[in-house]
Amino acid sequence: MNKDIRFPISMDWTKDEIVDVVNFFEIVDQVYSKGAERNTILTLYNYFKKVVPSKAEEKQHFKDYEEQTGQIPYEVIKKAKSSGESIIKV
């Protein structure tokens, strides 16, 4: 992952919430680079959704991340939810 990425986070979040969001975006990067386990992706997305329950806020964070990386978190989640494969790669 490019070290210059500014993860879309809020200063209102706790340290644990920031870790959950960063872990989710790191798994998105991993899916694009080498793939990741479907269950891990969905678990980290669930943690992300606890921090960012609003669909509008989620879309904004996804857009910010995509603009920096070219990686589309929505596609990762969509594929993980619909695929029967144990390893997801985009």
> How confident is the model over 62-81, as pLDDT tens digits?
999 999 999 999 999 999 99
What's the mean pLDDT in 17-25?
A: 96
Query: How far is 47 from 49, CA to CA, in rounded Å?
Result: 5
**Cα–Cα dist 22/79, whole Å:** 20
* Predicted local confidence at residue 32, as pLDDT: 96
Q: Is 10 within a domain?
A: no
How many domains does the chain divide into?
1
Q: How far apart are CA 34 and CA 88, in angstroms?
A: 9
- Whether 63 is in a domain gets the answer yes
- Residues 24, 45 contacting (CB under 8 angstroms): yes
How far apart CA 35 and CA 17 sit, in angstroms, is: 24
User: 48 is in which domain, residue-wise?
Assistant: 15-88
Model pTM? 0.91
